[in-house]
Amino acid sequence: METYEQLFEKYKAAFDAALADYLSKITLAPDILNESFRYSLLVGGKRLRPVLMFAAARMLGGKEQDVAPFAVALEMIHTYSLVHDDLPGMDNDDFRRGQPSNHKKFGVGQAILAGDALLNEAYALCFQESRRGRTYLNAAEQICLNAGARGMIAGQAADLFYEGREDAGRSEAEFIVRNKTAKMLVSAVTVPAYVYGMDENIISLLAEYGRNLGFLFQITDDMLDVNGEFDKLGKSVGKDESEKKLSFVRLCGMEECRALAERYCAQCEKVLDVLPFETEFFKETARFVLNREY
């Protein structure tokens, strides 16, 4: 029987193959756009979102190929958000995944355009998949809604707006996490359910798991910004404090953050127990996020 780590690497390898296949079919011009577009996509990363999407497809009785284009689209959206997040006008970080940020390698203007290209190519993939039928259209719509002005972008806007504000508190922090972090994970686990035409109860439970995992991920991310190591994280540490971000550590302190993270992990497992499928991989993912060092 395969271990969690072996299964994770198996799904990750399947995604990397799907991404390589997609990239083999396109060449962008001018060369600098082609290079900057591929740079951040290929520089590494956990590939957590596509891994979860592939695992969800398998759990629901399907296969990775059924959702591979959506997985590529979701990872491109995630990557574009990181490229823009690192820009001087936002989080101003020189490193991502242990390598120079896109704007440090190609310049600010080209990084903006690389992010724009990633987002638009992702939407093009979603449109193409929508031609396969109603269930694919529903899945594509969820990706676009969760990534857009009612999802990740709303969270990012709030994240910037509340920097350094003393009047911001728990509800504002939860709004940021629910939109900026959690909705992308909701897409990862619900897209296969939409593709296979699952009932609303299954979709709702998967979405609840994604939301709880999103909060768990962000809280541990906030903690790692305090006690993490650059060599493991591949990005600068201590930036939340220096920029006075509305983080859970700032609001609650490290001890309460750990307790919160454990509660969100337990909630992930509780939701999974209601699903009529084999969910151990998703429980292990929550435990991995709880105890992660990168």
Closest-CA residue to 210 (of 78, 48, 10):
48
171 class by beta-carbon count within 10 Å (0-12 exposed, 13-18 middle, 19+ buried): exposed
CATH number at residue 256: 1.10.600.10
State the DSSP string of 206-228.
HHHHHHHHHHHHHHHHHHHHHH-
Range of the domain at 40: 4-291
> Is it the case that residue 240 has pLDDT exceeding 90?
no
Q: Indicate left, alpha or beta for 101 from its phi (over 0: left) and psi (-120 to 50: alpha).
A: beta
pLDDT in tens, 68-80: 999 999 999 999 9
Q: How many domains does the chain have?
A: 1
Whole-angstrom distance, CA of residue 81 vs CA of residue 151? 12
Q: What is the mean pLDDT of residues 196-222?
A: 98
pLDDT band at 294 (very low <50, low <70, confident <90, very high): confident
pTM, entire model: 0.95
Is 95 in a helix, a strand, or coil? strand
pLDDT in tens, 128-159: 999 999 999 999 999 999 999 999 999 999 99
Closest-CA residue to 170 (of 251, 255, 245):
251
Is 100 in a helix, a strand, or coil? strand
